[in-house]
Structure 1
Amino acid sequence: MFFLTVCVACISVFAHETDSLFVPPKPDKPLRYCSSVKKWIEFATADSNMVEITRLKGVRMDLRYATFENVTGHDLYCGVQRAFVHKDAAAKLRKAIKIMQRDMPGSMLVIFDASRPLYAQEALRRTVRGTPYSAYVSSPGKGGMHNFGLALDLGITDADGNLLDMGTDFDSFERCAGEVGEAEALKSGRLTQEQVDNRNKLRKIMRGAGWVPLGSEWWHFNAFPSKYVRENYPKFPL
């Protein structure tokens, strides 16, 4: 079974009509966006509102767009495993880490994506343009919550460092990838109770720190409701 490795609230999938599997064609010539990510890091490190979370105790990096193994087939971050968020999101992330360390000692939060530059958003949009999923892709013009620095895609490990089984990979397009499809998937046997329980462990930690989960994606959390973000924060310029 194929699972996507692209954030869809960035590809904002709020509802999945079916559990069909979407496999976009891989590019003939995969690219590495090295000059683009260099400019992005220069921006992120110079902006006083941005905080690097790469070496934050309690998290580890698994940025999927820093590899070729994602839905675009391109290495959007040129292999760079560095993650940034807005300082207001960083405060909530630190709170989530404290809750995790209290409730799940030895566990780690695994970051799949954090702040996302607009060039990467456009690359994702191109990948699904002309497909049944094109309407769900946030345009760079409007931006998704990652383009404001106020969203995280993440999983969680057990005390031995193993990612908890959530039933789908990061950025699956299946309906059961989100809370909205879990009851149905449990009934059909597509998900197990243990997999749903694992999702709820992550949700409990993130909600406890003030994060807002996306109902269609177990991995995606916003620091604030999207309406509030759009009214009070600027979108990235690049």
Structure 2
Amino acid sequence: MKYSNVFLSLGFLLLSCKETPKQHEGKVEEEIKEEIKKVVVDTNDLKIGETPKTFRSFEGLADTTFVRLADFSDGFAYDLRYATENNFLKEKVYECAECYTRVKTAKALLAANSDFRKKGVRIKFFDCYRPNSVQYKMWEIVPNPQYVANPKKGSIHNKGGAVDITLETLDGEELDMGTDFDFFGKRAYHDNLDLPKNILDNRKLLKETMEKHGFWSIRTEWWHYNLAAGSNDKVADFKWPCE
């Protein structure tokens, strides 16, 4: 297995360290430390006999660094609507679909998703970090602050601290939240209790778990969550690469 081979290699490095002349020992020890840092295993989806997957570590990264969430876990699902025409703008405004956030946001999302998965569901993303230049595109299409934040001020999406999400089962079936993403009406409000019990229960599960991990919601959108610790970050225009 790949996982076993990594640690077998580390064992050989440790043995060779003893045989290396003193002037090379420090270099070898540093190589061992670097190899250990790379071994981050996510076993959420592992089946018996499968090789564990390796993911990047947050070690050495500042909390404000932008990271691609899929590099740190495969436990999430994605339907990044603004990379398609299936959104309220009816236009594609991202060149390609990626979910980036700041490191501190990613850490909180991983912790929240761990709790969700214990209950048989996982986070599904509609939107993550949004470059400020994309905010300007959205404003050109719908220049209405009721639906799109003014790009001159920016939104917490532009800071890498907001996500638009829902929940789905581990088999990929979305939980019923009462409306689709970006439905602008009272049926999407958190304080609208005139809904079937299963919808209210699903929203409660989403809201309470996200709040437990440092996020807060807004009254009119059941899907939108801001990381409290990310509200003071600067608006950014970092653009991810597209192949």
How far did residue 178 of structure 1 move? 1.8
Aligned residue number for residue 167 of structure 1: 178
**Correspondence for 2:131 among 117, 130, 136:** 117
Counterpart in the other structure of 1:150? 161
Deviation at 1:134, TM superposition (A): 4.1
User: How far is the alpha carbon of 1:114 from its aligned partner?
Assistant: 0.3
Residues 72 and 123 of structure 1 are in contact (CA less than 8 Å); yes or no, is this contact kept in structure 2?
Answer: no
Corresponding residue number in structure 2 for 1:74: 91
Secondary structure of the residue aligned to 1:51 is strand
Preserved contact between residue 54 and residue 61 of structure 1 (Cα < 8 Å): no
Residue type at the aligned position of 2:222: W
Q: Percent identity at matched positions?
A: 31
- Quote the residue 2:9 is aligned against: none
Query: Structure 2 counterpart of 1:201, which letter?
Result: L
CA contact (8 A) 1:156 1:163 kept: yes
| 1:134–1:152 CA distance, 2 compared to 1 (3 A) | closer
**Structure 2: how far apart are the matches of 1:58 and 1:213?**
23
Residue ranges of structure 1 left out of the alignment (5+ in a row): 1-46
Of the three residues 193, 218, 224, the one matched with 1:220 is 224
- What amino acid does structure 1 have at the position aligned with 2:102? H
* Counterpart residue number, 1:229: 231
Deviation of 1:123 after TM superposition, in Å, equals 2.1
Q: Which amino acid aligns with 1:176?
A: R
* Selected match of 1:211 from 215, 224, 230: 215
Give the superposition deviation at 1:136: 5.0
> For residues 52 and 67 of structure 1, what CA distance do their matches in structure 2 show?
19
1:99 and 1:208 in contact (8 A); partners too: no
The 3-state SS of whatever aligns with 1:71 is coil
1:84-114 CA-partner distances (Å, limit 9, x unpaired): 0011101101110111122x13x22100000
1:154 match: secondary structure: strand
TM-score, normalized by length of structure 2? 0.66
Counting only pairs closer than 5 Å after superposition, residues 64-143 of structure 1 correspond to structure 2 as: 64-78=81-95, 80-102=96-118, 104-105=119-120, 107-129=121-143, 133-135=144-146, 137-143=148-154
Q: How many residues are aligned here? A: 175
Displacement, 1:172? 0.7
Shift of 1:135: 4.8
Structure 2 CA distance for aligned equivalents of residues 68 and 170 of structure 1? 13
Separation in 2 of the partners of 1:48 and 1:213? Answer: 21
**Superposition CA RMSD, Å:** 2.0
The higher radius of gyration belongs to 2
Change over 3 Å in CA distance of 1:136–1:72 after alignment to 2? closer
Q: What is residue 20 of structure 1 aligned with on the other side?
A: none
Distance change in 2, residues 1:63/1:95 (3 Å) = same
Quote the residue 2:58 is aligned against: none
Structure 1 CA distance for aligned equivalents of residues 116 and 130 of structure 2? 25
Give the letter for the 2:182 counterpart. D
| RCO comparison, higher one (Cα < 8 Å, 6+) | 1
The unaligned stretches of length 5 or more in structure 2 are 1-62, 239-243
Deviation of residue 127 (structure 1)? 2.6
Alignment correspondent of 1:17: none
Query: Could you say if the C-alpha distance between residues 117 and 237 of structure 1 is closer, same or farther in structure 2, counting changes exceeding 3 Å?
Result: closer
Normalising by the residue count of structure 1, what TM-score does the alignment of the two structures yield? 0.68
The letter of the residue matching 1:84 is Y
Contact 2:88/2:182 (8 A) holds in 1: no
Q: Write the distance in 1 (CA, Å) between the matches of 2:217 and 2:189.
A: 10
Paired AA for residue 156 in structure 2: M
Is the Cα contact below 8 Å between 2:64 and 2:102 reproduced in 1? no
Which residue number in structure 1 is paired with residue 200 of structure 2?
A: 196
Q: Secondary structure at the match of 1:54?
A: helix
